[in-house]
Amino acid sequence: MPTTPPAFSDATASDSALRRFLFGLPGVDAVGLEARAASLGTRSIKTTAKAYAIDLAISMIDLTTLEGADTPGKVRALAAKAVNPDPTDRTTPRTAAVCVYPDMAATAAAALAGSGVKVASVATAFPAGRAALDVKLADVRDAVAAGADEIDMVIDRGAFLSGRFLKVYEEILAVKAECGAARLKVIFETGELSTYDNIRRASWIGMLAGADFIKTSTGKVATNATPANTLLMLEAVRDFRAQTGVQIGVKPAGGIRTTKDAVKFLVLVNETAGEDWLDPHWFRFGASSLLNDLLMQRQKLSTGRYSGPDYVTVD
């Protein structure tokens, strides 16, 4: 069973202890946070650095399809694109993972076998998380049994917003135990948490419960990943490693569509958490449309001409 790092074992001993710990975290200066995120977003990078950033961003993508109309054929096509994003240039990096619903995990696993691209599966009654714990755990078991290397779970936002923090913590612990060797990404749905202080508290709950990644959003609500909420989560993982020695990844998801957006987020990573997080093992983009823009910008850098959307596949 996963356990909280010893340095924080007292913080999770009871509901009241966890509440005291979470409300003892420093308050977030919203104006300062947004100003810093905006300032870092204005950094300019040279052509050689841009080429490096584009390849790094491609390698960090969890190429995602989470639609009711998903079919095995669509998942296989997405897997082929993840392995070989640009058939005209075999030097193009592979994406980090393909993210699908649990019932498509076996299809993705078969299509990606031997490629090095991971299979990620959402679980725990994604995206609402409105199910009993035994149903959520069964969802995780099914996904892992089908070949998922990574599980993206959603927290119970209703429990969090009503102050039942220990329930949220214990659910993450239980899901982590069901994951076995699969890595766990914990989704907060930051757009529903209302305040930056809540995002900071949720980040610490996830980290204390053994998350391998903390993730902004499902991509299913109006407000998803933003530079400010991602910066806040990067500060959290930086501080957590400083206090425990445990490194945890960050995954902004939803709304990141352009190369310019991706580069801004990479600058945030470098300037906040540091170079150790500039690796697909520790930072991911949850995206579906981002890859095509990265490929078009990559082609422009190599040929000097903007190729346009007709030169990349339509997902």
Rounded to two decimals, the pTM is 0.94
Which whole number is the average pLDDT over 171-195?
97
Phi-psi region of 245 (alpha: psi -120 to 50; beta: other; left: phi over 0): left
pLDDT value of residue 43: 82
pLDDT for 254-309, tens place per residue?
999 999 999 999 999 999 999 999 999 999 999 889 999 999 999 999 887 766 66
Kindly tell me if the per-residue pLDDT of 211 is higher than 80.
yes
Tell me, what's the pLDDT at 46?
Answer: 81
- Asked if residues 315 and 73 have their Cβ atoms less than 8 Å apart, the reply is no
The predicted-structure confidence for 121-160, as pLDDT tens digits, reads as follows 999 999 999 999 999 999 999 999 999 999 999 999 999 9
Judge whether residue 313 has pLDDT over 70: no
Residues 6+ apart with CB under 8 A from 192: 157, 161, 221
**Per-residue confidence band for 11, with pLDDT thresholds at 50, 70 and 90:** very high
pLDDT band at 23 (very low <50, low <70, confident <90, very high): very high
pLDDT at 311: 59
Instruction: State the pLDDT at residue 173.
Output: 97
Model confidence at 218: pLDDT above 80: yes
Amino acid type, 73: G
Tokens 């966890």, residue located? 18
Q: Is the pLDDT of residue 79 over 90?
A: yes
pLDDT in the model for residue 47: 79
pLDDT band at 222 (very low <50, low <70, confident <90, very high): confident
Mean pLDDT of the region 54-58: 98
pLDDT at 169 over 80: yes
Amino acid at 306: Y
Rounded to the nearest 5 degrees, what angle is found at the Cα of 3, between the Cα atoms of 190 and 252?
A: 25
Q: In the predicted model, is pLDDT for residue 202 greater than 80?
A: yes
CB 286 within 8 A of CB 249: no
* Residues labelled catalytic: 152, 215, 251
